[in-house]
Copies of this chain bind each other. A is one copy, B any other.
């Protein structure tokens, strides 16, 4: 089975009807764990798919988020960023270079949903920001 069909199957697990565009976006997200913005995804895919529109990227990602297949990160106030890794992990954003790092090794207790009387918690987002080591070593 080729990669394209694997992603079809993957999308169907989230109750998402596959299309060429949706498959391409998910393939991109699974291959680029850099928490890309809409713009980056569009810029990367549009050469191969000249008719692709940015609206479709927006629609597709909103659908993915609704279906729980992708996380929309709020860590970057400027642009929404997307992450196909939906396992428990936190993020660190560098205020200098803007890069978003994954933090997998934190205590899993952090991601537990606290019991809040009468509240239903859907999502937990843990974000750190500061200066990354690359930027720190530049001066």
In the bound complex, what is the Cα–Cα distance between A103 and B117 (angstroms)? 12
Q: Are B119 and A129 in contact (CB under 8 A)?
A: no
Residues of B within 8 A of A106 (CB): 114
20 further interface pairs, Cβ-Cβ under 8 Å (given A74-B74, A92-B119, A113-B128): A74-B76, A74-B127, A75-B125, A95-B122, A103-B114, A109-B109, A114-B128, A117-B133, A118-B132, A118-B136, A118-B137, A119-B131, A119-B132, A120-B130, A120-B131, A120-B136, A121-B128, A123-B130, A124-B127, A126-B126
Q: How large is the interface on A (under 10, 10 to 19, 20 to 34, 35 or more residues)?
A: 20 to 34
In the bound complex, what is the Cα–Cα distance between A82 and B114 (angstroms)? 23
In the bound complex, what is the Cα–Cα distance between A5 and B122 (angstroms)? 43
**In this complex, what residue of B is CB-closest to A137?**
B118
Tell whether A72 is near chain B: CB-to-CB under 8 Å.
yes
**In this complex, what residue of B is CB-closest to A105?**
B114
Interface bits A65-107 vs B (CB < 8 Å: 1, else 0):
0000000101111001000000000001001000000010010
